[in-house]
Amino acid sequence: MEIDTIVSRAKKSQPDVVILDQVDKLSLMNGKFNATHEKLKALYVRTRELAKTADCLVINISQASVDADGRNKITYDMLDGSKTGKAGEADIIIGIGKDDFLVDENADPRNQLRYITVSKNKINGWHGSLRVNFDSHTNQWKDAPNDDNCY
């Protein structure tokens, strides 16, 4: 799908929130780029414009790179394509990582500890990580016991 199609639909339907999963795979109608990093930056600039023109919150979901493999705290430098201008266009970047071990071996692995890491935040400036448990059966996040490894 082209980003301009999403922009025109958002202007017409006036949603409160637009969530773009795998935004890196969207296309640009008027796009002739010498390199992939130029296209990525242009896509993310267009999603910022989408937020302004449609007066809505835009959430871009991007895949983590191989640098995030096996990590519990995922920061924006582990974002796939983080060496491009796309990270510079974000107001806030949140990574969700998980521990490799289960606290209880009989527990469902989908319910293991997660780390929510805010590594870029132009909204209020707070950066850090929170340990949380995610209950996949109730779709709820709960505080997990903190440890000295969180900041």
Backbone angles phi, psi at 147, to 5 degrees: -135, 175
Give the three-class secondary structure for 72. coil
Residues 80 and 143 reside in one and the same domain? yes
Residues 52 and 75 reside in one and the same domain? no
Helical (H) or strand (E) element with 38:
helix 36-53
Residues 51 and 88 reside in one and the same domain? no
Query: pLDDT tens digits, residue range 45-104?
Result: 889 999 999 999 999 998 888 888 878 888 888 887 777 777 788 888 899 888 665 556
14 vs 115, higher pLDDT: 14
Spell out the residues 6+ positions from residue 62 whose beta carbon is closer than 8 angstroms to its own: 22, 23, 24, 79, 80, 81, 86
Structural domain span for residue 88: 70-151
Residues 27 and 87 reside in one and the same domain? no
Residues 74 and 49 reside in one and the same domain? no
pLDDT at 113: 78
User: What does the mean pLDDT of the chain come to?
Assistant: 82
pLDDT at 18: 95
- Into how many domains does the chain fold? 2
pLDDT at 1: 81
Quickly state the pLDDT bin for 141 (edges 50, 70, 90).
confident
Residues 81 and 55 reside in one and the same domain? no
Residue 45 has, within 13 A of its CA and on its CB side, a CA count of 10
Give the three-class secondary structure for 96. strand
Residues 20 and 42 reside in one and the same domain? yes
pLDDT at 100: 64
Residues 78 and 50 reside in one and the same domain? no
pLDDT at 151: 42
Residues 30 and 77 reside in one and the same domain? no
